[in-house]
Structure 1
Amino acid sequence: MTNWRAVVVGFVVTTVIGIVGLAIPGLGQLTAGLVGGFVAGYMARGGLASGFWHGLLAGALGGLIGGLLIWVAVSLLGLALGPVGGAVGTAAGAGIFVVAVVVALVMALESAIAGAVGAALST
């Protein structure tokens, strides 16, 4: 069973460290994903598979939400250009969302591995 509290806390940690990582060179997004996944796995407990799953969800959630927001923004921008622009904007936004989902899942693997480590250390 998924512990959504652990996933949301891991996501928030990833987001906060990611924002700080933009301002502080060297911290970066890699650290954000690792720490957020570790926190999600540690909170979820339940073994390696559970930590892996919770870290994966925490890491992927940010990319999915970001991709969705970009899709909406591009679609609205296209809609401001008229009916044809709306159709083009929606299609372009959907393409951007698909790419964002793939990138989010690939980048979530680091969070998943850190989540497994966190769960292993929590027991």
Structure 2
Amino acid sequence: MVVTKWRAVAIGFAITAILSLVAGFVPQLAILGGGVAGIIGGWAAGYYANSGRVSGAWNGFLAGSIGALVAVTILVLAGLTISLVELSLGGVFATIGVAFAILLFVLIGAIPATIGGLIGGLSPRTESEDAERPTA
């Protein structure tokens, strides 16, 4: 059974979104940025989910796809704002290309995040026995 742990998804989402935005604004990192951000964010979500491979992959997928959607939205809004300030037709063409960009970035973010979540789910966290036992 797949278990969704929203705290793990939020951690993976934050990592994926931050690394994707950094990759979007730094041209040297743009080629590998989405994939690396997805793998690292997905791994973190799978690791913190601590529920096995399948749940780790599911939490990584959620973190990667939500993080990619937020990063794409921010980057598209930044591009539209710049084109509106400059009064160019780039904003019109950008809105047509938004659908393709969103699909591309979600795939770039979700597929590696699912793989990273699977890897993170393989390495469950070990907690000390004192934390599990209540004190008497």
Q: Normalising by structure 2, what TM-score?
A: 0.62
Q: What pairs with 1:10-49 in structure 2 (closer than 5 Å)?
A: 10-17=12-19, 19=22, 22=26, 28-29=32-33, 30-49=35-54
Q: Which amino acid aligns with 1:6?
A: A
RMSD over aligned Cα, in angstroms?
Answer: 3.3
Q: What pairs with 1:39-118 in structure 2 (closer than 5 Å)?
A: 39-76=44-81, 81=87, 89=91, 91-107=92-108, 108-118=110-120
Q: 1:17 to 1:75 in 2, by over 3 A?
A: closer
Structure 1 residue 61: Cα displacement: 2.3
Q: Distance in 2 between matches of 1:112 and 1:99?
A: 21
Q: Report SS of the residue matched to 1:2.
A: coil
Structure 1 residue 16: Cα displacement: 4.4
Task: Work out which of the two has the higher radius of gyration on C-alpha atoms and give 1 or 2.
Answer: 2
Q: Distance in 2 between matches of 1:44 and 1:105?
A: 21
Q: 1:23 to 1:71 in 2, by over 3 A?
A: closer
8 Å contact 1:64–1:101 — kept in the other structure? yes
Bigger shift: 34-43 or 64-73? 64-73
Q: How many corresponding residue pairs?
A: 115
Q: Report SS of the residue matched to 2:51.
A: coil
Q: Which amino acid aligns with 1:102?
A: L
Structure 1 residue 2: Cα displacement: 2.8
Q: Distance in 2 between matches of 1:94 and 1:50?
A: 35
Structure 1 residue 79: Cα displacement: 5.3
Q: Normalising by structure 1, what TM-score?
A: 0.68
Residue by residue over 1:2-37, the C-alpha shift from the partner in whole angstroms, topping out at 9 and shown as x without a partner, is 3222112112223445538x5997xx5243322211
8 Å contact 2:43–2:117 — kept in the other structure? yes
Structure 2: gaps (5+ residues): 126-136
Q: What residue number does 2:122 align with? A: 120
Q: Distance in 1 between matches of 2:93 and 2:27?
A: 30
8 Å contact 1:67–1:96 — kept in the other structure? no
